[in-house]
Structure 1
């Protein structure tokens, strides 16, 4: 089991660097999840017996790594959840793509539809029932061995939108076989998508807080 990497602890606000492959919420019995690790950390640090409250205002998909925030009390958890619901949290991702995009920077806009009873989305026409708009901006930071390292700023927060939108232009996220990638990583539950930076309002002081998570060491072997 990986060691918990705490990257921000500011009053009730806690930020950690989630490893790829670790379940962020709702793990089956006997499987360790990220909240389990955070609760264990809080128990030990603050010498708290019994159950420890942990607010979970958002989550990352299992194969994704990076910034994940929690709250140590319910009032602040509600304030953080409201920011995510209103989409005022600014999120920047880094991704390694299997192919290099034709344009070094750009904006992707698609209508995506979540397939019922499946953890997967597809791109549909704008007038398709249930389809929702997905927008992002990207820029290529580096290229290596026909791969590209891109920085992605989300304008919407749709399920799997980075993964399906880049796959749609022929540049799937490295190791993301669910969306057409041909590559793989050492961990079959990992893909090369990382929540690098998050900017939000502190739930008590209301000033801006920026949290950044170092990229996974495994990316070094991919040329980045």
Structure 2
């Protein structure tokens, strides 16, 4: 069930929630509950709204990933936010706990990804290939523990499983991400990738917003990583 305490920001036009790992953003073929429907139901009751509640998904994050997800509450806001997405005017910062430390403490990764629908994975190439799309991100090492390393990542393009695939390509699989080479799974089925913050100009009020999502508090390793914040 949707927990209203997960709301990070809300006004008449937008709502940002801190998604838990395992939650779906939108309904899929599993038929499992999805945030989109749960937030609609919550607003319908809370605001005593007659009829259907409008809610548009501005961007998605993978089911095993936690963190900030942005929805539009009006058609006007959704149209304008979609333009920001198209023009790459939304800054997205992720945190990842990786099994290995990158060779360089910071840098920009540029690869070419091909989505494989049969395996639901993205294959990574150093050069353009048939059906590939360019994938770019910047990363910075924020701190290291005994076994894991905290990377801060700025997503410059939005490709399927981009961060997971690119970090795996450089030998730094994300903790718990068996699909992309992690040594072991996390107990709760999550992967240690968190949509930490989202930054953009409000589509109606035209003022800058930066919304930060706390890390999963039930995970002591995440809580330790946040001390590097």
How far did residue 117 of structure 1 move?
Answer: 4.3
Whether the 8 Å contact between 1:66 and 1:194 is mirrored in structure 2 is yes
* Inter-partner Cα distance in structure 2 for 1:212 and 1:127: 35
* Inter-partner Cα distance in structure 1 for 2:188 and 2:46: 30
Give TM-score scaled by structure 2 length.
Answer: 0.91
How far did residue 51 of structure 1 move?
Answer: 2.3
Residue matched to 2:194: 194
* Inter-partner Cα distance in structure 2 for 1:10 and 1:71: 10
- Give deviations 1:68-127, integer Å, cap 9, x for gaps: 111111111111112112221100000100112222212211111111444210112423
Residue matched to 2:17: 16
Any idea what SS the aligned residue of 1:217 has? coil
* Inter-partner Cα distance in structure 2 for 1:118 and 1:183: 19
Tell me whether 1:214 sits opposite 2:214 in the alignment. Answer: yes
Whether the 8 Å contact between 1:90 and 1:154 is mirrored in structure 2 is yes
Whether the 8 Å contact between 1:91 and 1:153 is mirrored in structure 2 is yes
**RMSD of aligned alpha carbons:** 1.7
Q: How many residues are aligned here?
A: 223
* Inter-partner Cα distance in structure 2 for 1:90 and 1:159: 17
What are the ranges of 5 or more consecutive residues in structure 2 without an aligned counterpart? none
- Give deviations 1:6-33, integer Å, cap 9, x for gaps: 0001221111001111011123475211
Q: 1:88 to 1:118 in 2, by over 3 A?
A: farther
* Inter-partner Cα distance in structure 1 for 2:185 and 2:127: 33
* Inter-partner Cα distance in structure 2 for 1:187 and 1:45: 31
What are the ranges of 5 or more consecutive residues in structure 1 without an aligned counterpart? none
* Inter-partner Cα distance in structure 1 for 2:102 and 2:37: 39
Whether the 8 Å contact between 2:25 and 2:35 is mirrored in structure 1 is yes
Residue matched to 2:87: 86
Whether the 8 Å contact between 1:13 and 1:70 is mirrored in structure 2 is yes
Whether the 8 Å contact between 1:108 and 1:165 is mirrored in structure 2 is yes
In the TM superposition, 1:39-78 aligns within 5 A as 39-78=40-79
Give TM-score scaled by structure 1 length.
Answer: 0.92
Residue matched to 1:178: 179
Residue matched to 1:3: 3
Whether the 8 Å contact between 1:87 and 1:157 is mirrored in structure 2 is no
* Inter-partner Cα distance in structure 2 for 1:133 and 1:161: 10
Residue matched to 1:110: 111
Whether the 8 Å contact between 1:167 and 1:179 is mirrored in structure 2 is yes
Any idea what SS the aligned residue of 2:25 has? coil
Q: Which moves more between the two structures, 163-172 or 79-88?
A: 79-88
How far did residue 210 of structure 1 move?
Answer: 1.0
